[in-house]
Amino acid sequence: MCGIVGYVGAKPAEGVVIEGLRRLEYRGYDSAGIALVDGGSIVSDKRAGKLANLEKAIAESPLPQVTTGIGHTRWATHGPPTDRNAHPHLGRTRRVALVHNGIIENFAELRGRLESEGVEMASDTDTEVAAHLLEEQLETGVDLTVAMQNVCRGLHGAFTLVAVDAHDPDRVVAARRNSPLVVGIGEGENFLGSDVAAFIEHTREAMELDQDQVVTITRDGVSVSGFDGTPAEGRRYHVDWDLSAAEKDGHDWFMRKEIFEQPRAVADSLLGRRGTDGLLQLDEMRLSDQDLRDVDKIIIIAAGTSFYAGMVAKYAIEHWCRIPVEVELASEFRYRDPILTSDTLVVAISQSGETADTLQAIRHAREQRSKVLSICNTNGSTIPRESDGVIYTHAGPEIGVASTKGFLTQLVACYLLALYLAQVKGTRYGDEISQVMDQLDQMPAHIQTVLDKSEQVYGLARDHVGSRSVLFLGRHAGYPVALEGALKLKEIAYLHAEGFAAGELKHGPIALVEEGLPILCIVPPRGRDQLHDKMISGIQEVRARGARTLCLAEEGDTAIEPYADVLITLPQVPVLLQPLVAVVPLQLFACELATQLGHDVDQPRNLAKSVTVE
């Protein structure tokens, strides 16, 4: 997500930090800032928008030539992308400057305590709370390292924190919990970064940290400890990538990197969604519980990959909430004269928040007095601003044009919406909702299990370089997964690919089946409404006509084995949550096949990341 740079050495820190931030621009951001330690005080500047805005401000009001500093490019989560919400954030007495990546789940409780003690907050962020807490600790006489340890023990969530102390100009201290941070080790200087691209021009010697560790860098060394203060060791390694590969974390494509970021992206999208009372809380919702109780119909509008996330949402919402749901292509919505009332909830799904046809659709819905809730990845974008409520996906920037982690985090947001509606309307008991949330919390580990089998999928892709057509079959929540798998292949491999509901085979598509045709089959988990057995029947039908069946099925499903030419196993998960794991091999398959065909995976022909025209 956010870009972070820290430096202590002999060089002017401003140049090192700004250059490091420039090398992190690929991560996507909406504001930038810098803080330097200068003779017992903090000097800071920060600006909304691109790094060039910060550089222009610094050129007009130059910063001191000092040798310790931190910098940040922000991807907004709490609070819109404005100057006041940009990082770094300062403590009340301006002794501490702090930058932050991630989400502090219990910030509201901590903020309430600070405000009750007279602390005036200067921003809308969760980050500022940590700055005040650090300064509070420093006032007890401990150093910045101990202060960071003490503060982190009281924080919940996933975060990287990097801070400087005006009274201790020769050190930068950082902490990591489930959020990226790497140390760059130089001679007479040391670095911190959200990835190695931040410092690769200065050193290729790096150190990786474990979870719940604090690292202190000075000119002369690096020390690591646990949040409890016990000494620890980081893992040293040599970076042999060039800058381009460093930006991609060693992967050949941003898309592949983003596929492998999905466990963390899903975990981030689940952060802070349950209160201390165990109930779901969606802070950005803005719609009242009574507004939601009055809803008697939901229309989901979206385009492309987001449309398929909406199709999965229909299954979840109708099953858990018993509310009728329609899923509509945003580009078609206005033109059929939809029936909308004040009790209709229109849910708009858009990763960028600027999708033109989706934006026009929500404007039409609001003119008809319907409530609009958006699911979006980009804080401050147009669609969330023009909606009555929003659920942010917290996926972080996605550079590859073909969406991967964007899709999975949209699915998570759809599940959260469904469960929240069930909680508000009372269509599910609290323990039932908690059980599904517990299952969602396990999904990052399940997704990682699938990623660990990537070589099997890559081999499968290489075996099909000569294929000119690929079909995808699914049932129930697996049907949108089939559509998404086909879309990925179209987008980046430029192959004919179609996704079908398996039950529709006999109604026409089976005519496409010929000898050797690869068909990827998403097999539902066993034990639900005979879906599994019906899917096997469909697989038998295409296999009898010469198709090559490439089956994704849960571990332990021996019934599928006689009918699968290739079997890729998935973790055992509930049928409604299976899309979160089933789509991952399809992403890997498309990425590797496109690579083998020599295509530009990140920037496929004719496509743009955000479609801003109707």
What whole-number distance in Å separates Cα of residue 259 and Cα of residue 592?
12
What whole-number distance in Å separates Cα of residue 355 and Cα of residue 614?
8
Q: How far from the centroid of its chain's Cα atoms is residue 86's Cα?
A: 20
Q: Do the Cβ atoms of 86 and 33 come closer than 8 Å?
A: yes
What whole-number distance in Å separates Cα of residue 507 and Cα of residue 409?
34
Which is it for strands 41-48 and 89-90: parallel, antiparallel or unpaired?
unpaired
- DSSP code of residue 334: G
What whole-number distance in Å separates Cα of residue 9 and Cα of residue 94?
23
Phi/psi-derived region of residue 289, left when phi > 0, alpha when psi is between -120 and 50, beta in every other case = alpha
Q: Which of 340, 416, 328 is CA-nearest to residue 371?
A: 340
257 is catalytic: no
3-class secondary-structure state, position 607: coil
Catalytic residue among 2, 414, 521, 591: 2
What whole-number distance in Å separates Cα of residue 101 and Cα of residue 175?
10
Helix (H) or strand (E) holding 193: strand 190-193
Q: Which amino acid is at 406?
A: G
- For the chain, helix (H) and strand (E) counts, in that order, are 20, 25
Q: Do the Cβ atoms of 29 and 53 come closer than 8 Å?
A: no
| Residues near 98 by beta carbon (within 8 Å), at least 6 away in sequence | 87, 88, 89, 90, 91, 127, 130, 131, 134, 161, 162, 163
Q: How far from the centroid of its chain's Cα atoms is residue 143's Cα?
A: 34
Catalytic residue among 46, 257, 405, 609: 609
Residues counted in the chain: 614
What whole-number distance in Å separates Cα of residue 319 and Cα of residue 169?
58
- Please give the full DSSP string across 519-572, using - where no structure is assigned: EEEEPPPTTSTTHHHHHHHHHHHHHTTT-EEEEEEETT-GGGGGG-SEEEEE--
Q: How far from the centroid of its chain's Cα atoms is residue 126's Cα?
A: 18
Alpha-carbon distance values, 221 to 9, 160, 180, 251, 550 (Å): 10, 20, 21, 30, 53
* Intra-chain end-to-end CA distance of the chain, in Å: 29
What whole-number distance in Å separates Cα of residue 425 and Cα of residue 128?
35
Alpha-carbon distance values, 79 to 122, 143, 392 (Å): 12, 30, 11
521 is catalytic: no
Residue 323: Cβ within 10 Å count: 18
What whole-number distance in Å separates Cα of residue 11 and Cα of residue 542?
66
| Residues near 366 by beta carbon (within 8 Å), at least 6 away in sequence | 372, 386, 388
What whole-number distance in Å separates Cα of residue 207 and Cα of residue 204?
10
Q: How many CA atoms lie within 13 A of 441 on its CB side?
A: 11
3-class secondary-structure state, position 208: strand
Q: Do the Cβ atoms of 162 and 98 come closer than 8 Å?
A: yes
Give the residue numbers marked as catalytic.
Answer: 2, 609
